[in-house]
Structure 1
Amino acid sequence: MPALKTPPASAKPSGLGTIGAIIGGVASVLFILWLLRGDNSFLTYLLDVDVYRLGAKEFLGGGNLYDQSFHTRLIDLPFTYPPFGALFFAPLALLPQTAVQVIIIALSALCLWASVAAVLSHYGQARPWVEALWVVPFALVSEPVRATFEFGQINLVLMALVIADVTGVFRRLPRGVLVGIAAAIKLTPAYYGLYYLARRDWKGVAGVIGGFLGATFLAFLIHPHTTIQYFTAVLFDNGRIGNLEYAMNVSLSGLNARISADTRLIWLVATVIVTVLVYFSARSAHKAGQDFLAFIVVALGCLCVSPVSWSHHWVWLVPAAIALYFTRHYVLAAWAILMTYFLDFHALLPRDHQVEMSWNWFEQLLGLHYVLYALVVIVVVMVRPVGAGRRRR
């Protein structure tokens, strides 16, 4: 298949394009301010930001992260991230809640912009930072990104770290290190090491391991008992991360919890099968010169098999849509956009108080729609990866 045509790097700036970017940037800021407006204050209360702040404060003090729940304005919640996650938030520990919210919101918006720009640059766009401003307003409206801001989650920060690694933004940094650091903050990105395995990039694999161990060791130096406690006990306690059957858990584990009173055996078998498919799909994309698409396959597979993939974790559908568009999978790209704009069925179905366990088969399929989409992408890419664009990795 012929290479994708992209504008030359020397393309002259377009006045219309610049104006569009300015409008996109302003629209993005205004949308975020509207989305997070408070009833009686400048910003609404962001629950997860408070847990991050309280966890970091405890880590800098006694270090008792996992034997207590943290008292927020709405509900008492446990700290579920690894110890380095608390250390990562340490600079925010002594700041008031509102200041931390502003920082997290601004950082998330910048990371979304940077992530989109890195992907556009990877596909040879002439002015990726400008063109990213056209995309960001539309990305903000998508359900996973919108929910990330509403909860004050750090999904976009982690996504930026990983995309910077995969696309080689920091050339002097060993491959895989940023993925490893992301995994030390929130364990799930460890699955992304499968991308480097599919490429048979052993330096990348070593980078993931080294980044993870190095970051975790920093937390161990401060609170060894807490670190050991997490990796020997807390890690295996799924009850800490919420009710698996909850509608917003859009994953195979969520489906298993909703339809089966059995153990997690069904989920474990499904995880192995999906992971094998992901490996061969990523391998196929890599052989076709589509390394970023190979990574997208891994990221989507991770969301399918993770014990919990809340709907806001699916922010990876944004770079997935971009990658699928540039590799001429236009229907799949359009499907991702429509699905996250108008078809967030999991938010529309009956939920709470375990009512999800009484869903009929059609409701179960609707509640699993992100996963079904991801599985289709994995299979399509495995069977029919598209020829690389102008810039290959």
Structure 2
Amino acid sequence: MKNTTSHSNEPNPDEHAPSRIRAKIEQVMGNKVVSVIFVILIFLIACLLFVMDFLSESDVVRFDFKTFYAACSFEHGSGENLYDLQHLHRTARKSGIGGHVYPYLYPPFLALVAKPLTAFPPGTAQKLWTVIGAILMALSAAACTLIASSRVKGDGERSILPELVLYGLALLFALPYRNNIYIGQVNIIVLAFLVLSLLFYYRRSDLLAGAFLGCAVMIKITPAVLVLFFIARRRFKIVVGLALSLIGLFALTLFLGGWKVWADFFSLLAVLLSGADIPGLFPIDAVYNFSMRGLFLRFISSRPAAMVFATLSLLLLLALITCLTWKTRKERAAEVLILPFFVLMIIASPLTFLHHVIYLLPCAVLANAYMTALPRPKREFHIFVIFLIIAVAGIDFPIYYDGVLMPDIGRECFTSVNLCALLGLFFIGIWISRALAGARVEKNAP
């Protein structure tokens, strides 16, 4: 008689293979030192591979790195103005840099302390800058992932470190990482200091958190927006650390460059804040600028009125998010509100370009971790929405703007897609914070 006995109840060696593999990974990752090394190596390999084609090219000096290299080469004792485009062009030519050089728009700190970079020819320095950027990006992504994983430790759930690593790798593709490396921007250095500030914030080493925030502010002023987040969280020592850091770094720049370079910078800053165009740069209302000021200048013909509306809008958004953070300061929901603060840090600048979107990395990874308090389907939905909006904000829409044929008002709306995505992310952060607050209330309810 033919045997028709079913074998469905017999153990299948391949049935639980994914679970066993995951269990093995979690066992290895359970060792703290091993997990840290593993995460750093994963991101380091990914970041280097992602820009390897730039390193294999001939000695090409691009866009923003031309400006930065010329600023580092500037002779501050000559009496010339670092922020005068003609003076900067002369320095660039002496350094062997040809073509158009954009004006230098940052505080003088980084240009003064990075002078050793000019010991190399411009092309070699660009490659070295690329390697430094890739390493700092890898360390920043690894630190964000490890910080986020530690924030949900003790929730009684399995470690989410493996999925945070995958999420961080996906963000490398969604965020304009390659754009920053390609043009030679300084944003990744600022990002590294911001991540260090957050690292010590979560370790409750507030003076160090403030000190590293001060380093970021001395390179680009807009990270100062995050001070309000720390104040709303009642971490006042961070403000003390920030003040001490700014005083110390300011004194260092006075020693290296003197008073004049700061006087020249503040003159430039006054022009930027007034909404006037900067010589050598495209107009402030150009489609490439998706700051709040850029948005209003594209819609309102009166420049003073546009600047007033933009400033009031930013202040209202800042007041809203600061009050919400203060109100929920004892809840995990308040920590998610760092996401809207980072958005404001990006769009508060008079000039916001695609490469600034890279700053969303730490808050996006942290938001992922905090959402473990939400029910599983809702959590996946929120993570997907955040990632989708970040991906939209990271698209280089400006390269398509000039080819779009539509009425003026439609074109002006289309040229603000990146800003709309960032503003959407601002309100999504508030929405998730409220969802987390509700989930916490339900969990603690009798």
In structure 2, the residue corresponding to 1:167 is in which secondary structure? helix
In structure 1, the residue corresponding to 2:119 is in which secondary structure? coil
Higher helix share: 2
Tell me which of 197, 213, 220 is aligned to 1:165.
197
Greater C-alpha radius of gyration: 2
In structure 2, the residue corresponding to 1:168 is in which secondary structure? helix
Q: Distance in 2 between matches of 1:265 and 1:75?
A: 33
Counterpart residue type for residue 122 of structure 1: I
In structure 1, the residue corresponding to 2:214 is in which secondary structure? helix
Counterpart residue type for residue 349 of structure 2: S
The alpha carbon displacement at 1:131 in A equals 8.1
Counterpart residue type for residue 114 of structure 2: F
Computed over aligned residues only, the root mean square deviation of the Cα atoms, in angstroms, reads 3.7
Stretch deviating more after TM superposition (151-160 or 334-343): 334-343
Cα deviation digits, residues 4-56 of structure 1 (max 9, x gap): xxx7997159x999999867644432221125653xx2x54322122111101
The alpha carbon displacement at 1:74 in A equals 3.1
- 1:219 alignment partner in structure 2: 253
In structure 2, the residue corresponding to 1:80 is in which secondary structure? coil
For structure 1, list consecutive stretches of 5 or more residues without a partner in the other structure: 1-6, 389-393
Counterparts of residues 316-331 of structure 1 (less than 5 Å): 316-328=359-371, 330-331=380-381
Cα deviation digits, residues 166-194 of structure 1 (max 9, x gap): 22188595331111121112212122211
Cα deviation digits, residues 80-125 of structure 1 (max 9, x gap): 1112131132221232112222222122222222222222222335
Alpha carbons 1:182, 1:189 under 8 Å: kept: yes
Structure 2 residue 276 is the aligned partner of structure 1 residue 247: no
- 2:414 alignment partner in structure 1: 363
For structure 2, list consecutive stretches of 5 or more residues without a partner in the other structure: 1-25, 90-96, 154-158, 372-378, 441-446
Q: Distance in 2 between matches of 1:136 and 1:103?
A: 24
- 2:271 alignment partner in structure 1: 237
In structure 1, the residue corresponding to 2:102 is in which secondary structure? strand
Tell me which of 231, 234, 243 is aligned to 1:209.
243
Stretch deviating more after TM superposition (280-289 or 190-199): 280-289
Structure 2 residue 75 is the aligned partner of structure 1 residue 50: no
In structure 2, the residue corresponding to 1:211 is in which secondary structure? helix
Q: 1:242 to 1:364 in 2, by over 3 A?
A: closer
Counterparts of residues 241-280 of structure 1 (less than 5 Å): 242-262=282-302, 263=304, 264-280=307-323
Q: 1:258 to 1:117 in 2, by over 3 A?
A: same
Q: Distance in 1 between matches of 2:392 and 2:166?
A: 20
Alpha carbons 1:179, 1:208 under 8 Å: kept: yes
Tell me which of 182, 186, 197 is aligned to 1:154.
186
The alpha carbon displacement at 1:367 in A equals 4.5
Q: Distance in 2 between matches of 1:275 and 1:351?
A: 33
Q: 1:97 to 1:137 in 2, by over 3 A?
A: farther
Counterpart residue type for residue 223 of structure 2: P
In structure 2, the residue corresponding to 1:308 is in which secondary structure? coil
The alpha carbon displacement at 1:348 in A equals 5.3
Q: Distance in 1 between matches of 2:55 and 2:329?
A: 40
Q: Distance in 1 between matches of 2:36 and 2:224?
A: 38
Q: Please report the TM-score for the alignment, with normalisation by the length of structure 2.
A: 0.73
Counterpart residue type for residue 245 of structure 2: G
Counterparts of residues 80-229 of structure 1 (less than 5 Å): 80-124=105-149, 134=166, 137-168=169-200, 171=205, 174-221=208-255, 222-229=257-264
Alpha carbons 1:177, 1:211 under 8 Å: kept: yes
- 2:401 alignment partner in structure 1: 350
Cα deviation digits, residues 359-378 of structure 1 (max 9, x gap): 44642553433322233234
Q: Which has the higher contact order (CA 8 A, sep 6+)?
A: 1
Q: 1:211 to 1:23 in 2, by over 3 A?
A: closer
Alpha carbons 2:386, 2:425 under 8 Å: kept: no
- 1:31 alignment partner in structure 2: 50
Counterpart residue type for residue 95 of structure 1: F
Alpha carbons 2:338, 2:363 under 8 Å: kept: no
Stretch deviating more after TM superposition (281-290 or 292-301): 281-290
Q: Please report the TM-score for the alignment, with normalisation by the length of structure 1.
A: 0.81
Counterpart residue type for residue 204 of structure 1: I
In structure 2, the residue corresponding to 1:237 is in which secondary structure? helix
Q: 1:106 to 1:375 in 2, by over 3 A?
A: same
In structure 2, the residue corresponding to 1:309 is in which secondary structure? coil
Alpha carbons 1:28, 1:136 under 8 Å: kept: no
Percent identity for Structure 1 against Structure 2: 19
Alpha carbons 2:225, 2:345 under 8 Å: kept: yes
Q: Distance in 2 between matches of 1:367 and 1:120?
A: 25
Q: Distance in 2 between matches of 1:268 and 1:301?
A: 12
Stretch deviating more after TM superposition (153-162 or 289-298): 289-298
